[in-house]
Amino acid sequence: MSGPTFLPAEFKDASKAAPPERTRKAAPFSLRLSDKERARLKREAAGKSLGGYIKSRLFDEGKPNRSELAEMLGLLGQSGYAESLAILVEEAQTGSLLLDKQTLTQIDQACAHIAQMRACLIKALGLLER
């Protein structure tokens, strides 16, 4: 039993067609870290996956860190500095500001707290300190 020696044109064309190209996934990126570097990375990731944390640090530069901003806003909210500064200014203008040891200590503490809020805000916004 012998088959036909010719093929219909549709089959000939189909047999010559190239297979569809497969898209290749990008190969994973490997990075060697020392034990010390990996420990630092885990600490800074603070529970996030290391890959997710690395990607966020590399590609999310314009995004402020929400938890750091929330911390800074909490510090600002509980401080009452706006009201206290207004009182200090008013007392200084009227000449009734008493600068005793306790007042100077409180002013120093307020300055330290404001410096802490500033550092937190700079970090959260990804700004470089001068």
**DSSP letter for each residue of 30-74:** -----HHHHHHHHHHHTTS-HHHHHHHHHH-TTS--HHHHHHHHH
Q: Does the pLDDT of residue 64 top 80, yes or no?
A: no
Instruction: Please give the pLDDT value at position 42.
Output: 92
- The length of the chain in residues reads 130
Burial, 114: exposed, middle or buried (Cβ in 10 Å; 0-12, 13-18, 19+)? middle
In this prediction the pTM is 0.42
Instruction: Please give the pLDDT value at position 104.
Output: 84
- Is residue 65 within 8 Å of residue 120, measured between CB atoms? no
Average pLDDT over residues 82-89: 81
Cα separation, 33 vs 39, whole angstroms: 9
Q: Does the pLDDT of residue 3 top 60, yes or no?
A: no
Q: How many helices (H) and strands (E) does the chain have?
A: 6, 0
